[in-house]
Amino acid sequence: MSNKSNVVVGIALAAAAGAAIGFLFAPEKGEDLRKKVKQNANTWADELLAAINKGKNNAQQIADDAQNKAKSWKNKAKDEYEDVADTANRKVGSALGAM
């Protein structure tokens, strides 16, 4: 995992642990407490999943951009090569014609 991924997971786990401790010390009935824990766990899971999906989408976009740039650079290099080759062929043809 990357450092950013580790940070996100660490924050999520720390938040979950803090909330769990808070719930344990809250003066509520067990049933109400379990409902709250379940609701918060579902919310956190949804938020974490959304963050992971956003990260995947960003990574895919970066990969697509890099691939497009590489193709562009390849085409530019090919065009430059063809220009240089044409110029060289013309000069060689001129030199041979002058003989």
Tens-digit pLDDT profile for residues 57-70: 999 999 999 999 99
Q: Which residue has the higher pLDDT, 22 or 91?
A: 91
Residue 48 and residue 11 in contact, taking contact as beta carbons nearer than 8 Å: no
Report CA Rg, the chain. Answer: 31
Which residue is listed with tokens 């963050």? 51
Q: Please tell me the predicted confidence (pLDDT) of residue 32.
A: 80
Residue 6 identity: N
Question: Could you report the per-residue pLDDT of 67-96, keeping only the tens digit for each?
Answer: 999 999 999 999 999 999 999 999 888 888
Q: What is the dihedral of CA 41, 19, 51, 10, to 10 degrees?
A: -130
Q: Which residue has the higher pLDDT, 27 or 64?
A: 64
